[in-house]
Structure 1
Amino acid sequence: MGNLHIHVTLFLIVLFAQSYVHCIDQDPIAVEDWFKGIETMKEKITKLHFYFHDIVSGNNPTAMRVAKPNSYISLTGFGNVVMADDVLTSEPEANSTIVGRAQGMYASASMEDLGFLMTMNFAFNSGEFNGSTLSLLGRNPVLHEYREMPIVGGSGVFRMARGIATAKTYSFNLLGDAIVEYNVLVSHY
C-alpha cells in the first residue's frame, strides 16, 4: 500500500508539472515575453478619481470585522482586523456608476490614534481599466482630513504600477459607515 501511495503521488506531481509547462507554452502573454518587450514600452501616467463606500452596518455590510484581540481593549480599536469588498463609484452617491471594488483588509495598527494598516486591491470592472487592478499598502490615519498611501503594484493596464493614493472622507456616520474620496496618480507601462 505504501508503494502505491508513492507511485500515485509521483504520477500526480509529473502530471501537474507537465500541465504547468504546457500552460506556460500556451500563454500568449507570458511574463518572460512581456519583460523582453519592456525596453520598447513607454511609461504612462494615469490619474483616477473615485469614491470608496465602506458599509459596516445593516443587513448587507461590505466590510466586517474578522479578528479582534482576546482581552485587550483600546480606544483606538488596536488589533481589530476588517475584511472589505467595498464598492467604488464615479460619484459619492451610492447609486452612481460602479467603476470597481476595493477588496482587501484594514487593521487598527496604532495604540495612540486611529491609524489603519491598509492592504487593498482596487479591482476595476468597467471602461478602459476593466479587469485591471491597483494594489495599495500603507498607513491610513482616518481622522486626518488628508491621507496619503502608496500604490505598490498593479495588473492588466496597470502592470508595474507605482504611485500615490490620496484619501479624504466625504461622509461618515455614527454606525461607522463611510464614503471616502480617492485621487490616485500612478505610473505604469
Structure 2
Amino acid sequence: MLGPFWERIRAQVNRDRSRRSVVLAEGGWDAVLNTLHPSVRWEYPVLRIDCRIDLDLHLAGRGLLLQPSFFRRCAPTLLGDPTLPPILVCPIEHDVNWATPEVNPAEGRALAALIGPTRATLLCALADGVATTGQLARRAGTTAPNASRHITALREAALVASQRHRNATLHSVTDLGLALLEGGNPHIPA
C-alpha cells in the first residue's frame, strides 16, 4: 500500500525534476545527460549506458524522453519499442527515509545515546533499503569519509551490510539493525 506515502513519493520526484531543471539551465543538455547516473556517459552524439545487453538504439530524429522513476533503484533502463518514442527511465535520488514512520524523539535520543548520533542517523537512513555512502553522508550532514568510517563500525557490529556495485558501495540495514531500530528482540549472531 503506497497510499500513505504518495505525497512523499511525489515530492521526491518533483525535487528531482526541479534539480535537473536547474542543471539544464546552468549547464545545458550536456550537463543533464552527464549527471543522469554513474552508468551513463554522454559522448556527443552518443549516450552510452552500461548495461547487461549490447544494444544500439538509433533515434533517427525521434528524440529521447527522460522519465524519472521513484521505483527504479539501480541503473537506468531503456524502453525501446521501435513504434514509440524511446524512453530512458532514470532512478531518482531518494530521501532514504521516505517510508520510515515518524520516530518518537525519546526513542531517537535513546538510540543516539547507545551508538552515537551520526551512526543512529545513518542506521535510520538505511531503514528504507539501499543507499550509497554519498547518499548516506548527505542524509547525515557529514562528509563521505566520515560516513564511511561510521558505516564500517556499523558493519562490524553486524547492523549494516555493504556490497560493491560497479563504482559505488551499496549499504543496507541487516535484520539485527532493523530489530535495533524497531526496539525488537533480535537474534544476535554468535
Which of the five TM-score ranges fits, normalised by the shorter chain? under 0.3
Q: TM-score, normalised by structure 2?
A: 0.22
Q: TM-score, normalised by structure 1?
A: 0.22
Q: Which has the higher contact order (CA 8 A, sep 6+)?
A: 1
Per residue, is there more helix in 1 or in 2? 2
Per residue, is there more strand in 1 or in 2? 1
